Homo-oligomer: A and B are copies of this chain.
């Protein structure tokens, strides 16, 4: 793998930033706020930032780069797809519980729901993320979709995934802003108390985490090699799993593809360079 040590350093940074973000969220609600509970009060609302940052930011971020881990390249592509889909399912479940916590808190306190820009964009993101997951499952995991459909959907899947990830981070930043203004006594945020600086730092950590994930996800030379995955498909009985090579995302084509033609998918690619291009180069 080209640039292996840089990859390792960035992966370590991403994990550190992700863990730190979750830790900061926990310290925020446990030390500065009312803790965690499920009682309709502020402590129930506190599950909202904790679960969003854990699931919808950190777990989703890892799900995005899971194909890039070189140690997984000997695993079958199907296994990696299951891990990718599984992590994203965990992210969605945590996001939904986070939404329930916020709605439940609002309802107990007679605070209206869905009035803020944060809620408009956030709910849209959760719905689109669920749609993305269902479509991804139907097209890339179930064995029914023809290669041409996979080739058409893949660039959209990859682009949507990255933009949704960015949108989730933007929504989280809006949420932190809202909560700080509401929670700190009127005007107190502007005096930048310790809690304000702490949560601002949490926001910065999330942004840098997002940047590192997007960088790792869009480097072509860190892409899972086609050759190896095709060989593993051959070992798995020539299972047709589409143009999934680009299914995290990439900006370049794969240099190892010219000498592989093991199954009908590879043949279809060879016959149709357009399909190949769509599958290989589909993405951000």
Interface residues, chain A, CB within 8 Å of chain B? Answer: 111-112, 115-118, 120-121, 124, 155, 159, 162-163, 166-167, 169-171, 173-174, 176-178, 180-182, 186, 189-192, 196, 199-200, 203-204, 207, 211, 214-215, 218-221, 249-253, 277, 280-284
CB < 8 Å neighbour of A251 from B163, B166, B170, B250: B250
* Integer count of this chain's copies in the complex: 2
Asked if A189 and B116 make an inter-chain contact with CB atoms under 8 angstroms apart, the answer reads: yes
CB < 8 Å neighbour of A220 from B169, B182, B199, B281: B281
How far is A173 from B146 in the complex, measured between Cα atoms in Å? 40
Q: A253's closest neighbor in chain B, by CB?
A: B253
Q: Is the interface of A mostly helix, strand, loop or mixed?
A: helix
Chain B CB within 10 A, most for which of A117, A219, A220, A250: A117
How far is A39 from B81 in the complex, measured between Cα atoms in Å? 58
Asked if B203 and A121 make an inter-chain contact with CB atoms under 8 angstroms apart, the answer reads: yes
How far is A199 from B116 in the complex, measured between Cα atoms in Å? 10
Asked if A117 and B170 make an inter-chain contact with CB atoms under 8 angstroms apart, the answer reads: no
Apart from A173-B174, A251-B282, list 6 A-B contacts with CB within 8 A.
A115-B196, A117-B176, A174-B174, A178-B181, A252-B280, A253-B281
